[in-house]
Amino acid sequence: MIELILATANAHKAEEFAALFDPKILSIKAAPKKLEVIEDGSSYFENAKLKAQGYYNEFKIPVLADDSGLNVEALSDELGIHSARFGGEGLTDFDRANLLLKKMEGKTNRQAYFTCVLCVYLNDKEIFYFEGRMAGSIGYTYRGSSGFGYDPVFIPNDVEGELTVSELPEWKNKNSHRALATNLAQKFFSQRN
């Protein structure tokens, strides 16, 4: 078993990771304190590494960090690695999701996908990455009360009907971009030891 600290201040992510990982393979616990790491990379991989390296350098403990976001084909330069800052400072998740719906008005291409890149930073020489993607489209209304972020406006491809991720909490636990990346990490580390 590998013990890791999680490099995030997002309580929802911490809850999701705790539920996704098998503690016999990778044990995740919160970092002793939150660090302000500047995420100025140009990709999910760079930002995940910046977070992992920042926490590793501070605590000298193996770290799990992730960078994730929503990629919308019709707004290719606006979200992605900037998803958490979409629309500027001071907006809530609800505000950002509704801003996205407004910007998508009149657009016929509603294709989108969530990306999660995990960086497992064991030490300066052992750094591993795992990427998960969940494909779907942007809906027309805000629906559902489960999940967070853009979940209430994202309709995944792999389900019947027009349900958003926010209306599919059990499905999300097994099929989200984060779950897919986690599965890859668990498989890799279970075979490595």
Report pLDDT for 95.
97
Q: 61: which 2 tokens?
A: 């403990």
pLDDT band per the 50, 70, 90 thresholds, residue 116: very high
Nearest residue to 178 (alpha-carbon basis) of 152, 147, 144: 147
Average pLDDT over residues 55-80: 95
CA geometry: angle 131, 136, 139, nearest 5 deg? 135
Asked if residue 9 has pLDDT above 70, the reply is: no
Alpha carbon distance 103, 162 (integer Å): 20
pLDDT digits (tens, 9 = 90+) for 76-103: 989 999 999 999 999 999 999 999 999 9
67 is catalytic: yes
Domain boundaries defined on the chain: 2-192
What CATH number matches the domain at 2-192, 3.40.50.2000, 3.30.420.10, 3.40.50.2300, 3.90.950.10? 3.90.950.10
CA–CA dist 39, 24 (Å, integer): 31
C-alpha distance from residue 41 to each of 48, 65, 81, 99, 105 (Å): 9, 14, 9, 25, 30
Q: Which pLDDT score is estimated for 193? A: 56
Q: Which of 66, 67, 93, 158 is catalytic?
A: 67
What's the pLDDT score for residue 160? 86
Residue 12 pLDDT > 70? no
Interval 17-61: pLDDT, tens: 777 888 888 888 888 888 999 989 999 999 999 999 999 999 999
Model confidence, pTM = 0.91
